[in-house]
């Protein structure tokens, strides 16, 4: 990559560059207007008046309030058609931002409890991924969301179902929820099953609890990737371990600010993690809840951590490195995205030259 005049138009570079998203909850991507439609269709007596009122549901003071707000909206997904509508709209949004690879998670237990089989749910999501022609260049994979608020036995039973289904669209499982209330060790059995089945494993840690929770995710759950990992900065031995063992951190700046994990973007440890050589990625977590896009997350990172186009390109490519794709596909996407990033820089440089020449 070659920096230079492209830095004069970094915002345009960010807008047009290929991107990767690895930490994205499907239930947190429901557009307010779509949420309103679902509520009017499935629970008309309690439906808000307009989409602005839907946004009020996402006003919260802490993690429990955030979880409740998410549930109040996502509980209105009542059938597979609803689920597909939300998924297709998410994909359209990602394509508009030139996201070329995404791993998103879905809280499938919610829909199993409604009476659908795991196979029906996953097939419905997989069909959405086939809706787009190749020219859109969006490759998606599914991570099965495991919720800490469920009993360890229920979580283990779901992992067994996932292992038995062995669906090609599923690349792994991910544990989310309030780690301070539901410690990692409760789910050791579930993650042992996942590991034995060859399922990739990611764990929310260092968000609602401290660095010890990250250690527990690594040692008790054999996590290959840490979602958030923000509080790892409190333990420099852990930071060195993450760097030396190439454990990726899927960082979500706006989520951490909105949930008071960090007091202000300028105090977020993302910049320090990046400088220390950790494999960090930028992600949205719950884009519609926090009113953020992946493009905006990159803009924020560039502003607060003084990143140039080379830095941003490296973070995008970290996303491929941190993904749960196989080695062959990682190599393919790495080469393709690196080529497109170089092409974009040259294109912006030429546009700059043309602009200067016309003056």
Catalytic residue among 21, 103, 207, 224: 207
Residue 10's region, left for phi above 0, alpha for psi from -120 to 50, else beta, is: alpha
207 is catalytic: yes
Closest-CA residue to 72 (of 86, 62, 58, 52) = 58
The answer to whether 66 touches 60, Cβ cutoff 8 Å, is: yes
The DSSP H or E segment spanning 173 is strand 170-176
Token pair, residue 334, equals 């790495």
Question: What is the DSSP code (8-state) at residue 187?
Answer: G
How far apart, in whole angstroms, are the C-alpha atoms of residue 79 and residue 289? 22
Work out whether strand 249-251 and strand 280-282 pair parallel, antiparallel, or are unpaired: parallel
Dmax (CA) of the chain: 69
End-to-end CA distance of the chain: 28
Q: Within 10 A of 124 (CB to CB), how many other CB atoms are there?
A: 18
CA distances from 345 to 56, 60, 224, 227 (A): 41, 41, 33, 30
The answer to whether 214 touches 226, Cβ cutoff 8 Å, is: yes
How far apart, in whole angstroms, are the C-alpha atoms of residue 156 and residue 238? 28
**Structure-derived torsion over alpha carbons of residues 89, 337, 24, 121, reported in degrees to the nearest 10:** 60
Catalytic residues: 207
């Amino acid at each position: 990559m070659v920096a230079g005049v492209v830095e004069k138009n970094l915002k345009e570079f960010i807008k047009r560059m290929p991107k990767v998203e690895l930490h994205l909850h499907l239930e947190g991507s429901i557009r307010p207007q779509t949420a309103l439609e679902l509520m009017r269709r499935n629970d008309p007596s309690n439906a808000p008046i307009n989409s602005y009122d839907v946004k009020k549901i996402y006003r919260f003071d802490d993690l429990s309030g955030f979880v409740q707000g998410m549930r109040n909206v996502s509980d209105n997904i009542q059938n597979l058609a609803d689920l597909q509508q939300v998924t297709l709209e998410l994909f359209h949004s990602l394509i508009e931002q030139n996201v070329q690879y995404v791993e998103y998670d879905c809280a499938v237990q919610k829909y199993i409890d409604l009476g659908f089989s795991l196979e029906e749910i996953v097939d419905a999501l997989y069909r959405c991924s086939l809706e787009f022609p190749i020219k859109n260049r969006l490759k998606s994979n599914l991570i099965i969301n495991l919720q800490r608020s469920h009993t360890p036995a229920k979580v283990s039973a779901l992992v067994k179902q996932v292992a038995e289904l062995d669906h090609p669209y599923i690349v792994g499982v991910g544990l989310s929820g309030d780690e301070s209330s539901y410690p990692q060790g409760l789910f050791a059995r579930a993650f042992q099953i996942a590991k034995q089945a060859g399922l990739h494993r990611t764990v929310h840690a260092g968000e609602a609890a401290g660095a010890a929770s990250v250690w527990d995710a690594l040692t008790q759950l054999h996590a290959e990737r840490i979602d958030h990992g923000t509080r790892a900065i409190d333990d420099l031995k852990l930071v060195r371990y993450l760097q030396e063992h190439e454990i990726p951190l899927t960082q979500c700046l706006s989520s951490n600010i909105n949930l008071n994990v960090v007091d202000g973007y300028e105090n977020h440890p993302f910049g320090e993690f990046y400088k220390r050589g950790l494999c960090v990625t930028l992600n949205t977590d719950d884009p519609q809840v926090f009113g953020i896009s992946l493009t905006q997350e990159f803009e924020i990172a560039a502003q607060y951590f003084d990143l140039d186009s080379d830095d941003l390109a490296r973070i995008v490519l970290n996303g491929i490195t941190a993904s749960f794709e196989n080695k062959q596909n990682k190599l393919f996407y790495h080469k393709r995205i690196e080529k497109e990033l170089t092409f974009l820089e040259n294109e912006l440089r030429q546009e700059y030259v043309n602009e200067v020449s016309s003056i």
